[in-house]
Structure 1
C-alpha cells in the first residue's frame, strides 16, 4: 500500500501506544483521524505537549502535536461502548476525508484478576470496549472498504492465542483473545471471497511498553524501568505491517519485535529501551502453538445464515 495521503483512523489514540502510532503515521504522510473518548482544549494545556501517559494527553493535544510539525490530523471523539458513537465516528470520518484506508483499533479496558476477583460489571465493561467495540467498528467500516473496491488494512491490538495468557486474568483474556479470533475469522473471509487487497492483522508487544500503568510502577521503583521499551517499537512494527504484502499479514497474530526481526531484518533493539543500555525482559513466549488442523481446508457443506434468511451480505 502506498502511504501517499491515505487516511488512517486510530481508535484509542489519546495516550501511550495509540498516540505514538498516530504521530508516526502522520510523519509518514498519512492523514490521521485521532479518536478516543478523552477530549480537551489543547490551547490551554501547559506545558505542551503534555506527558504522553498522563490524562492531560487527549485526542485534541495529539492532533495539535501532529499539526504543529506539519502533519494532517483530525480529532473525533468516540465512546467505543456505544455503537451509535462508533457509527458517528465512521460517518464523520467519511464526510471529512471521503475514505478510510487504514483502521487501527487500540481502544481497550483492562482488569487483571482471577475470576473470583473480577466483578461482573468489570467483565461487561471489558467486553463492551474490547471485542464488542472492535466488532462494531469493523462492521461500520466494511461498507466503506467495499466502496473502495475492497482495498484497506485493519490492525488490531490483541495477542497471539496461547493458554498461558489466560492465567490470572481470564475475564480480560476472554475479550482480547476474542479480538484475535475476529482477526483470524475475518482474514479467512477476505481470502475466501477473493479480497486480495484487504488484510487484517493483530499485534502485541513482546516486552512491556512504557505507559500510564507502568509509570505508576516505575514511580515506586525506578529500577523497573529497565524492563520497559518505548512505544516507538510498536508504531514501527505497525508501519512495517502496513507496508508488507497482504498475503504476509492477513490473519497474522504477531509481536512487535518478532515482526521487525523477521520481516525487516532488525537485530538491534537497543534504541527502544527506556533505560539506555538496558535489555528489557521479554514477557511473551518465544513461539506459539499452531492453530491450524490437518483438515483445515475441509469446511463440509457450508450454509450461510444470511442466505437462509434472504439477507444480502456486504
Structure 2
C-alpha cells in the first residue's frame, strides 16, 4: 500500500512505514496461555520479536512460539522462569536483552489469584501472592528501566492489573490488594520515567475467558455484563498493542479497564455468589 509516495504495510490494524520500521522487541511474562498468550500474539502481529516466560506450561509456550514464527515471521523465545523467586526478575530481563539485542517493551502479565477470607488464608499463600503479583513486577520494572535509560530507549512498560484492584470484594484482600498496589506503583514509576521518554501504564482486565470450556458459566456471566459478553485474551492484547503504539504517545501513568463495563458505577451491587454476577472472576 502506498500513501503520499511511501510504502506502508498494515500490521495488526496499524499502518507501519517500512522505510522507518526498526525492529521492536518485547518481554511478556506468563505468556504460555490465556491473557499473556493473547498479548504475545498481538505484539507479533505488529512486528515485535519476543521473549515469553512460562512456569509449568512448557509445551504450550513452545506451541505459542511456533505459532508466532509460522504465522507472523517473528522470533519468539520461550524461557522457563520461577518468577516468585526474587533473583529471577533481573535474570529474565537480561536474558531477553541477550537474545533480542535490546528491550523496547516489558509486559508484566504473570500472576496468581487466590480468593479467601483473610483470617483463613495461609501465610505461605499470602507471601506467594505478594511475591508474584507485586514484588516481581517491581523488580522486572527496575531492571528494564535501567536498561532503557542506559541505552536511551524510549520504551514502554505495561503492568497487567485487574478490575479487582479498582473495586473491593470480599475474600479478595490479598489478590485485590496486590493489584491495587501495582496500579499505584505504575503511577509513580511513570513519573520517574517520563523525563527519559519511557511510558508506563496499566491494563485492568475484568472477567476474561482464559481457558477453553465452562461455557455455560461464561454465558451466564456475560449476560450480566453491560456489553453482554466476557472478555477474551485478544481484547487485552489489542489494548496493549495500542497503548504501546505511537497513537498513545501522550498517555502515561494511566490504568485502562478492559471489562465491558463490569464495574461501572450503577452496576448492581449484589456480589453474593447466588446473585450470579461472578464479579471479576477469571477462569
Report the TM range for the smaller structure's normalisation.
0.7 to 0.9
TM-score, structure 2 as length reference: 0.77
CA contact (8 A) 1:159 1:176 kept: yes
Partner of 2:208: 209
- 1:186 lines up with 2:186 in the alignment: no
CA contact (8 A) 2:30 2:110 kept: yes
TM-score, structure 1 as length reference: 0.69
How far the C-alpha of 1:120 sits from its partner, in A, is 1.6
CA contact (8 A) 1:4 1:29 kept: no
Q: 2:81 aligns with which of 78, 83, 103?
A: 78
How far the C-alpha of 1:4 sits from its partner, in A, is 3.7
Q: 2:35 aligns with which of 17, 27, 30?
A: 17
CA RMSD of aligned residues (A): 2.6
CA contact (8 A) 1:217 1:224 kept: no
How many residue pairs get matched? Answer: 242
How far the C-alpha of 1:3 sits from its partner, in A, is 6.7
Q: Flag structure 2 segments of 5+ consecutive residues without an equivalent.
A: 1-15, 224-228, 267-283
SS in 1 for 2:87: helix
SS in 2 for 1:249: coil
SS in 1 for 2:167: helix
- 1:282 lines up with 2:261 in the alignment: yes
State the distance in 1 between where 2:165 and 2:23 align. Answer: 37
How far the C-alpha of 1:176 sits from its partner, in A, is 1.0
SS in 2 for 1:19: helix
How far the C-alpha of 1:147 sits from its partner, in A, is 2.0
- 1:120 lines up with 2:142 in the alignment: no
Q: Flag structure 1 segments of 5+ consecutive residues without an equivalent.
A: 43-56, 258-280, 288-314
State the distance in 2 between where 1:3 and 1:19 align. Answer: 24
| Equivalences for residues 1-314 of structure 1 within 5 A | 4-40=22-58, 42=59, 57=60, 59-69=61-71, 70-159=73-162, 164-191=167-194, 194-195=195-196, 197-205=197-205, 207-212=206-211, 217-218=214-215, 223-224=220-221, 227-244=229-246, 248-256=250-258, 282-286=261-265
CA contact (8 A) 2:165 2:179 kept: no
Deviates more, 1:217-226 or 1:149-158: 217-226
Q: 1:188 to 1:217 in 2, by over 3 A?
A: same
Q: 1:168 to 1:248 in 2, by over 3 A?
A: farther
Question: Could you give the per-residue CA deviations for residues 243-291 of structure 1, whole angstroms, max 9, x where no partner exists?
Answer: 146663210011136xxxxxxxxxxxxxxxxxxxxxxx6322259xxxx
State the distance in 2 between where 1:173 and 1:165 align. Answer: 7
SS in 2 for 1:132: helix
Q: 1:151 to 1:220 in 2, by over 3 A?
A: closer
Partner of 1:299: none
Q: 1:38 to 1:249 in 2, by over 3 A?
A: farther
CA contact (8 A) 2:165 2:177 kept: no
How far the C-alpha of 1:221 sits from its partner, in A, is 7.4
Q: 1:3 to 1:30 in 2, by over 3 A?
A: farther
State the distance in 2 between where 1:224 and 1:159 align. Answer: 17
